[in-house]
A and B are shown apart, each in its own frame.
Chain A
Amino acid sequence: MADKIVLEIARYAPDRDKEPSFQSFEVPLRKEWVVLDALNHIKDKVDGTLTYRWSCRMGICGSCGMMVNGEPKLTCATFLTAYGNNATVRVEPLRYFPVVRDLVTALSDFLVKLQKVKPWLIRKDQPPLSAGEFLQTPEQLDLYKQFSMCINCTLCYSACPVVGLDQDFVGPAALALAQRYNLDSRDQGSAERLATLAHPDGIWGCTFVGECTRVCPKHVDPAAAIQQYKLTAALDWVKSFILPRGHDDKPQEAAHD
């Protein structure tokens, strides 16, 4: 008698339903299967209308994030056997995002917020090509490397209560990515990001719940990034009183010591 597991999956078809409802599917419990494998099995063999996002199935693209038994998880990295034999596993779309259909969330809001923090290298001067490439020591790389591991899976947005309570809050991933660029020695754009970051909807909306760090599959620690930037922004605010005009454009300078 083969082992089985039941998946209770949220279904929502906007043309048909007013609200999401749950549908149960029985799936073989294979020890090497992850939740994504179970979803693919259902879509292939049972109900082809099941709609969800996935791509790399190896935890790097960030597409397959869903709530599994109330926890934000990458379904390609969550083994079925973790839930035991004959268990029921609840699969829902990521929390705090609008649901487009079944397990698919609308990410446009997140993308707008990501763009607002300008997550790219900003230069005030453009050295000529003949000057060669930018050089960076291992120590300089170490300053921001952890925050560069973000795969934009938005699990942290589903974990953060402030994201759910305040739709304008920029959110953990965007803030961590802004800090990743602020700390990059090649970047000269800290002042440009300041208005978005040091704002009640930016870092000051964060109350260091720490859930974002707990659920992050790439160990980015966005909570740490945000708290570190709070200190930098606060020191910058103090400096703006002491030197009101033409104050240092690179608030991160002090953080490098």
Chain B
Amino acid sequence: MTDQAAIGQTTTDQAVRSEFHPRWHRKRVSTWWWLGEWHYLKFILRELTSLSVAWFVVLTLFQLRALLHGPETYAHFTGRLQSPLMIALNLIAFCFVIFHAITWFNLAPRAMAVRMGGKRVPEVLVAAPNYVLWFAVSAFVGWLLLRTP
């Protein structure tokens, strides 16, 4: 910390401890701060998408384990996936994962400040290739899984 900043910090600390310091009012931030505003709620929902991401990995690990243990175990696993509870959970998880993908691609251009020829590339042109990649890869994976050998 610079000397000047250190002085500022010390002054504030000393001032707070003195009985002559004016009684500033400081409101405590509630645990429910994120419910107070739609923008804050949208942010927390975006952050909670990470739970759906983790859920998918857990599901995939169970799927790999089922594959490892043979066709009967795998059939049992796919059967479990058909229960209404699992469908509901996966539907919610899917919606959250889509929300993650969209917010991620839309925010990426702001984090990268791509410049070409000395000028800033418009955000839409930086986000678009991400979407193209997303669709292309998804189509390829879908094709790999759905084709009959």
Contact = CB atoms under 8 A, between A and B. Distances in A.
Given A98-B26, A210-B43, A116 B1 contact: yes
A207 B47 contact: yes
A142 B120 contact: yes
Nearest to B22: A14
A100 B24 contact: yes
Interface residues of B, number: 31
A161 B33 contact: yes
Contacts of A161: 29, 33-34, 40, 43
B5 A115 contact: yes
Nearest to A12: B25
A139 interface: yes
A112 B118 contact: no
B110 A221 contact: yes
Contacts of B29: 96, 161, 164-165
Contact of A112 (B5, B26, B120): B5
A112 B111 contact: no
A133 interface: no
A168 B12 CA distance: 14
Contacts of B58: none
Given A161-B33, A224-B111, A100 B22 contact: yes
Interface string B20-50: 0011111101000110110110010001000
Interface stretch (A73-81, A82-90, A226-234): A226-234
Interface residues of A, number: 39
Nearest to B9: A112
Given A100-B22, A111-B8, A112-B9, A142 B119 contact: yes
Contacts of A12: 25
B82 interface: no
Nearest to A108: B12
A5 to B, nearest CB: 23
Contact of B110 (A20, A165, A214, A223): A223
Contacts of B83: none
Interface of A: 12, 14-15, 19-20, 70, 95-96, 98-100, 106, 108-109, 111-112, 115-116, 118, 138-139, 142, 161, 164-165, 207-211, 214, 221, 223-224, 227-228, 230-231, 255
26 contacts: A14-B24, A15-B23, A70-B36, A96-B29, A98-B24, A99-B26, A99-B27, A100-B22, A108-B8, A108-B12, A109-B12, A115-B2, A115-B5, A139-B119, A142-B118, A142-B120, A161-B34, A207-B43, A209-B43, A210-B107, A224-B111, A227-B107, A227-B111, A228-B111, A228-B112, A230-B111
Closest 4 pairs (CB-CB, A-B) = A227-B111, A98-B24, A139-B118, A14-B23
